[in-house]
Structures are given as C-alpha cells and as structure tokens.
Structure 1
Amino acid sequence: MELLKTYLDISVFGILGLMGFIALWITLERLFFYRQLSLADYSHAEHINIALTKNLTTLSTIGANAPYIGLLGTVIGILITFYELGQQQSIDTGAIMTGLALALKATAAGIALAIPSIMAYNGLLRKVDVLNAQYRAQ
C-alpha cells in the first residue's frame, strides 16, 4: 500500500502530462500542416480527407479519456485514505477531508486536460470541413 501511495500522484500526473504533451503536439502539427496545405496536390477528395484527419482520432481519444485517468487516480486516492483510516481505527474528520481533497486533484487535472483537448479537436474538425468544402468547390 505504501508503494501505491508513494507513486500514485507521480503516475497519474505523469500519464496526464504525457497525454497533454501529445495533444499539444498533434494540435500544433495539424495547424502547421493546414497552413501550408496546397489543395492542388491532391487528386481525389478521399485522399485529402485522409491527410486532413490524420491524428485527430488520437486527439479526441485524449480529450475523452483524460477525465477517466484523473478519476482513476481519485478513486485510488480515496481507497488509500480509507485504508489508512481503517488501520488507525479512529475517526478523524480532518484526515478524511484532507485525504479526499488531495485525491480529487487528479480528477481536476484530468478535466483541465480534457477541456482544451476537445476544444482543439472541434476547432480542427471545423478546419477540416472548411478545407474539404474548398476542395470540392474547385
């Protein structure tokens, strides 16, 4: 249990940090790609759609699953809190509230990552729609 307690925050925030880095990387890569895109380089609408939507599924997956990673960290943190309180065999409301408050930070971090990831995904999807419409209008 001590091992879990010691590495819980590092693990959860490490995973969320990696997910955040990947989401930022994909968002910037797509923005740079869309900026330099030449519609004349593509001979078929499906080819351009494949190029435009590359890695957007990953961005969507990060946005959809980041809260769950945070929630998993919270649940494990709550389990650790209750386990430690059970070992002490006393009820200390201050310890309970402190443990629960610290456990909830993982969920907050997951939500804080999910919101900009989903916003970026939706913005990029709009750009894909616009570029596809421009290609069809040629």
Structure 2
Amino acid sequence: MNNNFLAYAESAIDYGVMGVLLLMSIVTFWLFIERMMFYSSVRTDDYNHRDTLEMELTDNIGVISAIGSNAPYVGLLGTVLGIMFTFYTMGDAGAVDAKKIMVGLALALKATAMGLIVAMPAIVAYTIVLRKVEKILTVFDVAQDKKIK
C-alpha cells in the first residue's frame, strides 16, 4: 500500500475515534446537567402515579449508562487499529525499528486511555443521577403514605 494512504488512514481513524469519544463525553455532560436541572425543579405533588414520575425521572439516563459502558470499547477499537497499522507499516518496510514500534504502540494506546477518561465520569454521573432518582421516588412514596393515613 502507498505510505501516504497509510498515513491518511491512520490519522483518519485516530481523529475518528477521538472525535467519537469527544462527542460521547459532551453528550454525557449535557445529559447530566439536563437531568440535574430537571430534578431540581421536579414537584412530586404534580404526579398521581409513581410509574409516571419514574418514567420522567429516568428519561435519558440509559444513554449515560451506555456511554459509560461503551467508551472503553471505542478506545480499545482505536488502539487495536493503531497497533494493526503500526505492525503493517513495520512489515511493509521490511525492517524492525524498535523506536518506530514503541512510538506507534504508545500513540495507539492513547485511544484506550481516552476511552477510560470518558467512561469513568460517565459511570460516576450515572450513579449520581440514579441516586437522585431514588431519593425523589422515596419522597414521593412517603408523601403518598401520608395521604393514605
């Protein structure tokens, strides 16, 4: 293969993986802020049924969970593709240059690191949001119990 094509493909994959991870982190942050703003304004008195309240409280939190679960895999995909390009380039050159291998592997591993950097805050955000949902539902249940008595 042409070296220019390999360089182009390698940087396209690198930017693609990093772009997807950046988008995932922006979506997570945006949904977290949106949910927290909604929770601060929710009035449990406006709801007659617990299920209706729960559906509104849990809206979009599955996306945060999915991002937290899948970001490491997106990073791993970038790493695997980066390693494949590194080995292909070395094999195509016909010479083993330890410096080029190490640099290629180090650059490929940055995708995994970025995947973890995106995943960890997403999982923390999901946990915080889920706990807030539990608290609001408990407040609703207590208010319903008081109405019955």
TM-score, with length taken from structure 1: 0.98
Is 2:116 the counterpart of 1:111? yes
For 1:61, the equivalent position in structure 2 comes to 66
1:1-138 equivalence runs, <5 A: 2=6, 3-138=8-143
SS across alignment from 1:43: coil
| Number of residue pairs matched by the alignment | 138
Query: Using the alignment, how far apart are the partners of 2:37 and 2:10 within structure 1?
Result: 41
Q: How many Å apart are 1:99 and its aligned residue?
A: 0.3
Percent of matched pairs sharing the same residue: 43
For structure 2, which runs of at least 5 residues remain unmatched after alignment?
A: 144-149
Deviation at 1:6, TM superposition (A): 2.7
Give the Cα separation in 2 of the matches to 1:101 and 1:108.
11
Please give the secondary structure, in 1, of the residue aligned with 2:96.
Answer: coil
Provide the C-alpha distance between the structure 2 equivalents of 1:58 and 1:8, rounded to a whole number of angstroms. 24
Q: How much has 1:8 moved relative to structure 2? A: 1.2
Please report the TM-score for the alignment, with normalisation by the length of structure 2: 0.91
**Could you tell me which amino acid in structure 2 is paired with residue 92 of structure 1?**
D
Greater radius of gyration (CA): 2
CA RMSD of aligned residues (A): 0.8
Deviations 1:48-97 (A, max 9, x none): 00010000100000000000000000000000000000011111111111
Equivalent position amino acid for 1:23 in 2: T
Separation in 1 of the partners of 2:96 and 2:18? Answer: 29
